[in-house]
Structure 1
Amino acid sequence: MRGASVSDRAELTGSRLPTQPGPPRPPGDAAEGTVARLGRLDVLLVEDDPGDALLVEDTLEDTGLEVSLRWVRTLAEAGARLTTGPVPDCVLLDLHLGAEQGLKVLDQVLQWAPGAAVVVLTGLSESQAGMAAVAAGAQDYLAKAQLEPDRLGRAVRYAVQRRQVQQAVAALQAEQMRAAENARLERGLLPVPRVTNPRLGVVARYRPGRAHSLLGGDFYDVVETADGLVHAVIGDVAGHGPASAALGVSLRVAWRAFVLAGMRGPQLVELLEELMIGEQGHDEMFVTLTTVTLSPDEPVARVVRAGHPGFLLHAPGEVRLMEPPGALGVGMAPGLDGWREQQVPLPPGHALVLFTDGLFEGQIDDDGARLDVTGLLDVARRHRHRAPDDFVDSVITDVEAASLRHGGLDDDVAVLHLGWNTR
């Protein structure tokens, strides 16, 4: 296309202009290796002067870069390209487009295509404008009157590479922020049990569900009060993301504070609902939870279930599913509680295994079947002879393996194994 006239080129506004490979480079040329790594580049030229557009295209053809070039004359055309099609690797941008002038042109292009590298094209006496453009977000600037293949090729290559580095650094920083947020939320949702009685065995585990960049709303806590009683809670906030996790943290912290203040049983759950409604207003969020109170002197567990799944009773060689009567989850029907404390026999050597629904809701076949609590019970019974730590870890591992072929755990999993040691 080198022999076409400027008027011929003007008829191709917005089309993909073919480019010819430049002259071969020596085998050891470092630039050649860089170009090879970059591969084919999509470049958008935003230039209202056909003569300057022809100059840029001809110069690009001699750079040795593999380029697919599109040319548009106006900022409006650039916006149409950048907002409806794939984002180009590089935008070569004239800052003077008729009535559109200066850094406002650059700002608009950066808003439309934040992932593209931008090289600003300036007049010979506009070095200050070029530097201002770089300060405003462009990767580089070039004077049109000094366009040469090496200089233009270097500017495009380096601009794309710098933009890639910037994006990689930004992604790394975002990942570090997510990791820090996870750590903060984990401390709030999954605290260290506050128990001093050496007779109590506590095993606590948590596994995140697939594709969750942040922890969900699953939470647990175990605390011993001055009267020697041990209290535990496990809960699951409906939904995922920061709002669910924040609500889970609030409820878990409030639960511990209420327990230490002497609240027990259904009254404690009612207080949690009042707190939740006050915090969430009219948001339609709810929480399922189970609270447990254990006494070292009594072979029973006092249990309150609020919409939460049942639990397992585990002893060496034995696993049973327990589903004492319960009521609706917290926040499902404010004011219509109906929660009651149930006494569940806890013979010596037995332990309660509390869990959230992520442990049994994973998909296990191509037809969409779920493990369900009956399948979980079968898994648990295979490991009934194991010690508490191994029992919990083996159950979670088997559940994960069963769902792995279908994408892994759909939801977060929290597990508490609580029981008095007989020694």
Structure 2
Amino acid sequence: MLHWQSNFPVTGKISRNLRIGKTRTPAVAFASSSHIHQRSLRYAVLGAGFAGLSVAWHLLEHSHTDLHVCVDVLDEIGVGGGASGVSGGLLHPYSPKVKPLWLAAKCWEETLRLLSIAETNNGVLNQSSNVFIARRKGILRPVVSLKNMSVMNDNAQNSLDSCRIRSINEDAARRLVPDISVPSNLAFYMPDAVNIHPQGYLEALYLACETLAKEMSSVGLGEKEINFHKRSIDHLLELEGEYDAVIVCLGARSTFLPELSGKLPLRTCRGIVAHLHLPDNIREEFLEHSPSILSDAWMAIQNPRNVYLGSTWEWKSCNYSQNVSMEEASKALEELIPKASAVYPNITKWDFNGAKAGLRAMPPLTGNGSLPLLGQIDDLIGQTHKSKFWLFSGLGSRGLLYHAWLGRLMAQAVISCDEDVIPPELRSWRPKLIKKG
């Protein structure tokens, strides 16, 4: 099986029993009282994937330096133990489901910033593992259909300055990826796109949160803390009164919470990603400068002789385990290899080296595209008085792009106790849901 986890699957300060009894006050936004250092705020972030760790980082970053702030990250599996840690890691701002363009632009910029922050902590990770955070070789997308061509032509005409799209012919594509097949003699190349190793990135981001907490504690009057708790949450209300705010960032697992079951307009989809390795007796490896490949099946290149291939789509699944049986893996390869070989025939020479799976939380389709769900959910779980409950879910297959900027908005809304910080497009799911209730 594929060894996806690094040598420390649970990072940070670990506590089985959460500390209770700290002084609590209502959350405030950027206050400046001379007595502000006497206040203490406690936040619980449920989930240690893209959404959860982005929210945790921004809760620390945007809290007033004179406030005592404690952020507890709770996840029953570990950092990156859900769908985030198994995702493809192909980062670019273009998709027919990412609308409007301002959303893609803001998300792209903030994700690059968080990526840079995580990379500064990669040296700590490399003491125990040889995991890259980002491979900046671009992404190549051969045209395989008229619909694909139309979408990419539109994206190319409206591309961001920081992530260009170039149309190239088959000869140019083969200079990037030898032996690639370009059926329509047209491919789109995004040289600024990035291939991120999700597990390595998430672990580095958590370490960055620890570093930020220490740095902020050293310059302000208020101490900053972040702690990881390997703990499952069976009911949201078991946290009532323990925290100023609880932010649910559990992805598909949020639909299994009793208080939210049947109340969220989310669809679940299990996806399997295969790890392929080129046998030692075969020389036709990817070049060091070769970009990753995006097609009906994507290929995220790890190095010239290792690639992640994905992903399958099993709708309405309730299985969020990363483990994949040999039967599941065999069926996944039967689906993925033909799609991949249509643009890269040599993939049939590669050997299977394991697989992992993730359960995605897919958002509803709206007039603005498929947008994640953000907002306050006190009215969905019943009357509460001591804690505020928030939701950040539905990242779908674009979680890597969305997570950074939306995590920032979520944290700012929590700190200020103001849901209007979140754009209405990202809260539009709530009125419809309340009318059905």
TM-score scaled by structure 2? Answer: 0.20
Per chain length, whose mean CA-contact separation is higher, i.e. which structure has more relative contact order (CA < 8 Å, sep 6+)?
Answer: 2
Greater Rg by CA: 1
How high is the TM-score relative to the length of structure 1? 0.21
